[in-house]
Amino acid sequence: MFTRRQFLAATPVVLASPLLAADAKPEFSFALITDTHLGKTGADYVKRMTTAVAEINDSAASFTVFCGDLVDRGEVAANQKLYPQWVEIAKGLKNEWSAVPGNHDPAEQFTKHVRKETESLLEFKNYRVLCFADAEPNPGHLGVVTVDQLKWLQTRLEEAKKKDQRVVLVAHVVYHENKHPDVGWYIKDKASREPFGKLLADNKHIVAFFSGHHHCGMRGWNDTAHGIHEVILPCVSYNNNRKLDAAPGFAEKEFRPAWVRVDVYPTKLVLNYKPVGAEVAVTRELALKE
């Protein structure tokens, strides 16, 4: 039988890595939820959004951003009565939240019911989240960024740089050019694409760009010249299997309606695919540059 002294002498001492210790617990977390589509037929999307809000409240999320398509076909008069209902559900969140409009959300309805401006920002610790409207209205599906929006974004980015903040962008439509087998919905028109691409390249403190719109589960890339992580989020209403296994970037094999909890570490973002009514199904790590 070992004595206590013999046991301690025979037991290897494992020294904790400073990097592992730093990443053992996230600095904070936030929630992203997209495409609630209240009013769409086929499921109880009000119940689904309400359940997602309750789950976010039970999570570690310090704030939440809704990434567009709040109401289904919000340009239809009969559906516009759903915006106040959407707002009441969102107000159930215990922490701060913001939202951007999608192609289903007319600007006049969004600014009347949800927020007075389509652009907003959230700040938490050393992060700044810039939320902006970039979706063409129905029947369009592409992204557009105006000259005024570019100025707004650049000003907010310069402020963030002075404060030594990392920046996350959130909109409805992704920048990344996604051709077949993807659906090809992105910031495409030349007047928007070139200056917005330059903005991404010039601002190295942008670490990620999150969007919704595609209903394809969780999908992403970081292979463009600017090297920013671009992620299409799973929709809380419905997702389709677009068979993207062989496509560039990553495409998770999970399609249940879901929201995403982002855990923020010094060296990475960890995305947690949270199906509504179920446990986290998929995690994805995004490495951060020094």
Residue 115 CB: number of other CB atoms within 10 A? Answer: 17
pLDDT tops 60 at residue 13? no
Return the closest-CA partner of residue 72 out of 98, 49, 97, 96. 49
Q: How far is CA 142 from the centre of its chain?
A: 18
Mean of pLDDT over the chain: 92
Q: What is the mean pLDDT of residues 142-149?
A: 98
Cα(252)–Cα(26) distance, rounded to whole angstroms?
23
pLDDT tops 80 at residue 12? no
pLDDT tops 60 at residue 4? no
How much is the pLDDT for 23? 61
Q: Which residues contact 51 (CB under 8 A, 6 or more apart)?
A: 276, 277
Query: Domains of the chain (ranges plus CATH)?
Result: 27-283 (3.60.21.10)
How much is the pLDDT for 20? 43
How much is the pLDDT for 199? 98
Q: For 214-247, write each residue's pLDDT tens digit.
A: 999 999 999 998 999 999 999 999 999 999 999 9
Q: For 106-143, write each residue's pLDDT tens digit.
A: 999 999 999 999 999 999 999 999 999 999 999 999 99
pLDDT tops 80 at residue 10? no
pLDDT band at 11 (very low <50, low <70, confident <90, very high): very low
Cα(66)–Cα(203) distance, rounded to whole angstroms?
24
Q: For 60-106, write each residue's pLDDT tens digit.
A: 999 999 999 999 999 999 999 999 999 999 999 999 999 999 999 99
How much is the pLDDT for 144? 97
pLDDT tops 70 at residue 22? no
* DSSP helix/strand/coil, 73: coil
Q: For 161-176, write each residue's pLDDT tens digit.
A: 999 999 999 999 999 9
Q: What are all long-range contacts of 136-139, with beta carbons under 8 Å and residues at least 24 apart?
A: 136/103, 136/173, 137/75, 137/103, 137/106, 137/107, 138/73, 138/75, 138/103, 138/104
